Structure 1
Amino acid sequence: MKKITRLLFALLPVILLSCKSDKKTQNFATLTKSYFDDKNALDPISATQNGQNEYNDQFVFEMTDSHRKKQAAFFDKYDSKLSEVDTTGLSVEEKISYDIIKWEVNGGRNLLKYDTNLTPIHQFWGTQLTMPQFAGGTSAQPFKTEKDYKNFLKRMDSYAVWIDSAMVYMKKGIQKGIVLPRSLTLKMIPQFESMVTPKIEDNLFYTT
């Protein structure tokens, strides 16, 4: 899904530059930019991964009920807007962007039907893996200026709270019988253990 989103990011400049006097094209370009802006605000971690550095200090608690309500409103908003688009007047690039946005919106709405927020961590993906990758200095989070470091420190403050929130929702999952398979859970334990070092100076989050 990230590769598809990056394709959409790549197509955005083409769409904006191709806008001439055609009102349909102008309207679709406005919709596309609005979609990107709203999506980035809703998922700033992914925004950073897609090179949108204005979101580098922002953080969301994606598992919370309040955030899922924002997601639902976002998908409803753009499902409605897409239904108003006359696709017959779109260029090839615009039609690709339209299809990608529609696919993301439909997929996102369907995903909200399930209690995926009750298993916020996973062996292969999740904020608990992304933040250490960012801290390593070789991922998407930049560390070139003082502002870059302050941005990440702000994110780290939120990440500490995120860990507690993840535990709360995992406990809710236990109560409802929604948990990860034992085999996956056991494989995640070493991932967390590797983040703990005897000396703080050797810790990944300190060395950056």
Structure 2
Amino acid sequence: MPGKQSEEGPVEAGASEDSEEEGLGGLTLEELQQGQEAARVLEDMMALSAQTLVRAEVDELYEEVRPLGQGRYGRVLLVTHRQKGTPLALKQLPKPRTSLRGFLYEFCVGLSLGVHSAIVTAYGIGIESAQSYSFLTEPVLHGDLMAFIQPKVEGDPFYEDFLIWQASGQPQDRPQPWFGLAPAADALLWGLLDPHPRRRSAVSSIREHLGRPWRQREGEAEEVGGVEEEAGQ
């Protein structure tokens, strides 16, 4: 029937879009294109860096002061420039455990991310010696945030209660800390705490709720999961 055919058209289109997104690993087409462009830029950067490697022994250029850290794949040393005396951190990766491409990848990713104020700055100097590849960064002499991370932290019972309430959408499952919140506050916090990162609201969404009441007035309708319920029911 003509009417039936027109109704099914949008459904099939929507199903096609869903299957296409699944085929992209959950990425949108725009995100995929951005990732491909970033990969091309990184490849160009690696090719250029391979041509500009400084071929020398590290101790010819820098004097070792002390080790800053060591891991399975390499070590980080505090060094000073032999002529200028500038303190630097030198990451050294032994060739038996590191391919040239692997080194260039880490080196160039570090250069790209190092422009961020919260990330250690990497300098555009890559060194190839007989036994290792090395690159230089600003020295971090007072440790990093890894020292404050507690492994295997127990789950948050308050968030688990929230997830139960979110899944059911029933007023009786509202956790005690959420009692008395206005619908606008519920909507804001539901968005910020969504367990699915792609559906989670941006922090900037808080601006839309500034100046709005956070406490629910007596007798005001309560909205749960998009359905309004009378407060107290």
Instruction: Please state which band the TM-score falls in when normalised by the shorter chain.
Output: under 0.3
Pick the structure with greater CA Rg. 2
Specify which structure has the higher proportion of strand: 2
Specify which structure has the higher proportion of helix: 1
* TM-score normalised by L of structure 2: 0.22
Identify which of structures 1 and 2 has the higher relative contact order when contacts are C-alpha pairs closer than 8 Å and 6+ apart.
1
